[in-house]
Structure 1
Amino acid sequence: MSKRPSGRVTLVDIAKEANCSVSLVSIVMRGAPGASEQTRARVKAVADRLGYRPDQRARSLRRARSGLIGVTFNVLQPFHADLVEGLYEAVTATDYELVLGAVVAQTDDIAAAEPLLRDRCEALIMLGPTAPPARLAALAAEVPVVMVARPSRIQGIDVVRVDDRGGLRLVVEHLTSLGHERIVLVDGGKAPGVEERIAGYREAMTAAGLEEHIRVIGGGLDEEDGRRAAVEILELDERPTAIAAFNDRCASGVVNHLLTRGVYVPRDMSVVGFDDSRQATRCIVPLTTVAQDTVLMARTALERAIGRATNRYLPTEQVLVPRLVVRNSTSAQHR
């Protein structure tokens, strides 16, 4: 058993002792929904043992405006960097400021959000969060949450995303217009939006009469995931003539490996990405890709966050229309 903290006991002390997040402790102490009865009993027992007493002055401060909007983002994702840039551009027209929480290997979305809560952010914008729905719901019970680039039906959470199904339909329609039939999809592993993009791919292939050529290869979010997928693709008995990748980083990994094996893009295989991030133009072969309008997405997310923070909006889902950007990585099938 840990010894009792010296000085005033805080929610952080309780969270450490109860082995849970600060946001979950806050939910329990406020009696808000989002925690099981077993968790409530455990947290309250720890609070009683440590001698916790609510700080009424802190509660009064939390009720006051801070003028801060928190943003969690993955430092390894170029698409997130584009969104953060768009948020900073949009926030200049408001009287709010942004506070960033980085998601890295050692810090997940919820952990990245906790310092933002301690800074009294009035709302959170979470870019492509991968946390389980229950943990996101618990967070949303404490502060208004706007999720960007992740489909979700979690009650009480705003969603701003692109039409992922429609994006993959654009990809397949573009490739079939160039004469491709054997089109493989490299998915995003466990990333948000995977199911929607797979569904869009399957629907478009079926609509084109290409059901027999439907094939989904396991992939992921980065170049190494793309490389591994390309290795598997090159070992197929019947190679595809075109590859749709989950995002631009994955597509770049595919392109790089194909070139090292003497498979030229787009002469031998066409490759398409998704996001139209800065990675798309930096790839050794500039990528044809599906553009998500990061400026509009960021502006919409910020508007929703401020509206939720000031009790002007109820949670909704905003679905934006994707756009295909054609560059050098696709061409007509060479027979």
Structure 2
Amino acid sequence: MNNNRRPTLYDVATQAGVSPSLVSLFLKDPERISEKRRNAVRDAITELGYRPSRAATTLASSSTKSIGLVIDDYRNPWFVDLLRGMESVLSNLGYQVMLADSRPGENRIKEATDGLLAMHVDALVIAAEPSDAMLAKTWVPTVVAGWRKGVPLGADLITNDDDGGGSMAANHLLGLGHVRIGHVSGSDGASAHRRAGYRRAVEAAGVEPFISESSGTSEEDGYETASRLLERHPDTTAIFAANDSMALGAFAAIKARGLAVPADVSVIGYDNSPLAKSRFLDLTSIDNRSDIVGADSARRLLARIADPTLEPERTLIEPKLALRGTTAPPR
């Protein structure tokens, strides 16, 4: 074989001393082939470094064995666990996840989704705010992961109980003795639910809620919103951030005022992302179980692919408190 070109199925057949149709059968269902021939084909594939053509497989089947995932910001680390959860279910079944980053903006989200659909993905996971055009109808099985402002008609919703998680964060700080608890929040659907849970918990405890909102939920948004909050309420002793990235920005705002975490201001984030788990940050955070959201999203899509008549469902995943070193009783 010419070493300057990619090995083909025919090269594998020649190397193994079998027919091309038998190699094709091996790739689809190896158990239907005798052990001797199966070993010969496997050895040839290994020796030649052969990789099956996904395009050829797609042409021979109505399925591309791919799931599209639309996210709204690569910088938000909670997508890492979401993707890992999806792949824990899909990879062993031969599916791949195709990722598209839409960034905020209705046109960008639609473009990202249209791009995945143009590649004939079998199903979609939307981990971003759907555009108005997407709300009308989905043409492939679709799961919305996480609370959004809208869910497309016919799509499943699988999400963390963000209302409960917001209350959990506030109750943790209240239990430590804090009564001056601020909240830095975003404008997306998940932030709205976390904000509602926080407000409900502090008001039930007879504590005044004070909230600083931003259009985004990045580290920079966290810094700006926390700075405004601390300027308006300098006696704040605890901050609940809508996600871990915003919590990191809150850290910087607290430090800029010559204060320390948690000695002067306790900080709790949300998502329990890899950022929160880092030994350097050691951030107390609400675990939104995004790996479970991802795994359940994958299972639901596989069920919808197998039976397109299934009715859409809404599933809430219970959050957990991940207690670390950034929260303490007030001084």
Instruction: Determine the structure 2 residue equivalent to 1:78.
Output: 77
From 184, 187, 193, the equivalent of 1:186 is 184
Are residues 1:298 and 2:305 paired? no
**Could you tell me whether the CA contact under 8 Å between 2:184 and 2:225 is conserved in 1?**
yes
Instruction: Determine the structure 1 residue equivalent to 2:328.
Output: 331
Is the partner of 2:321 in helix, strand or coil?
strand
**Could you tell me whether the CA contact under 8 Å between 2:142 and 2:301 is conserved in 1?**
yes
Is the partner of 2:126 in helix, strand or coil?
strand
Tell me by how many angstroms 1:271 deviates.
Answer: 0.7
**Could you tell me whether the CA contact under 8 Å between 1:75 and 1:103 is conserved in 2?**
no
Letter in 2 for 1:119: M
Letter in 2 for 1:333: P
Letter in 1 for 2:91: T
- Cα distance in structure 1, aligned partners of 2:225 and 2:196: 19
Residue range with higher mean Cα deviation, 102-111 or 171-180:
102-111
Instruction: Determine the structure 2 residue equivalent to 1:166.
Output: 164
Letter in 1 for 2:124: L
Q: TM-score, normalised by structure 1?
A: 0.74
Residue range with higher mean Cα deviation, 160-169 or 112-121:
112-121
**Could you tell me whether the CA contact under 8 Å between 1:163 and 1:320 is conserved in 2?**
yes
Per-residue Cα deviation, 1:164-194 (whole angstroms, up to 9, x for no partner): 0100111111101110011111111x22212
Q: Residues 153-232 of structure 1 correspond to what in structure 2 (within 5 A)?
A: 153-188=151-186, 190-210=187-207, 213-219=208-214, 220-232=216-228
- Cα distance in structure 1, aligned partners of 2:70 and 2:280: 30
Tell me by how many angstroms 1:329 deviates.
Answer: 0.8
Tell me by how many angstroms 1:235 deviates.
Answer: 1.4
The 3 A distance-change label for structure 1 pair 237 and 99 is closer
Q: Residues 281-292 of structure 1 correspond to what in structure 2 (within 5 A)?
A: 281-282=277-278, 284-292=280-288
Tell me by how many angstroms 1:311 deviates.
Answer: 2.1
The 3 A distance-change label for structure 1 pair 62 and 194 is farther
Instruction: Determine the structure 1 residue equivalent to 2:318.
Output: 321
- Cα distance in structure 2, aligned partners of 1:100 and 1:110: 14
Instruction: Determine the structure 2 residue equivalent to 1:266.
Output: 262
Instruction: Determine the structure 2 residue equivalent to 1:100.
Output: 99
Per-residue Cα deviation, 1:50-106 (whole angstroms, up to 9, x for no partner): xxxxxxxxxxx7992232211112322111122112222221232433222222478
**Could you tell me whether the CA contact under 8 Å between 1:137 and 1:157 is conserved in 2?**
no
- Cα distance in structure 2, aligned partners of 1:328 and 1:63: 53
The 3 A distance-change label for structure 1 pair 105 and 193 is closer
Instruction: Determine the structure 2 residue equivalent to 1:256.
Output: 252
Tell me by how many angstroms 1:118 deviates.
Answer: 1.5
Is the partner of 2:92 in helix, strand or coil?
coil
Letter in 1 for 2:112: A
Is the partner of 1:108 in helix, strand or coil?
helix
- Cα distance in structure 2, aligned partners of 1:243 and 1:62: 56
Is the partner of 2:268 in helix, strand or coil?
strand
The 3 A distance-change label for structure 1 pair 185 and 243 is same
The 3 A distance-change label for structure 1 pair 63 and 288 is same
The 3 A distance-change label for structure 1 pair 123 and 328 is same
Is the partner of 2:189 in helix, strand or coil?
coil
Residue range with higher mean Cα deviation, 267-276 or 253-262:
253-262
- Cα distance in structure 2, aligned partners of 1:179 and 1:131: 40
Letter in 1 for 2:318: V
Residue range with higher mean Cα deviation, 237-246 or 179-188:
237-246
The 3 A distance-change label for structure 1 pair 98 and 230 is closer
Structure 1 moving runs of 4+ over 3 Å: 104-107, 151-154, 282-285
Letter in 2 for 1:304: R
The 3 A distance-change label for structure 1 pair 138 and 105 is same
Per-residue Cα deviation, 1:202-255 (whole angstroms, up to 9, x for no partner): 110122121xx2111113311111111122122125521111011000000001
Unaligned runs of 5+ in 1: 1-60
Are residues 1:307 and 2:306 paired? no
- Identity of aligned pairs, percent? 29
Residue range with higher mean Cα deviation, 241-250 or 150-159:
150-159
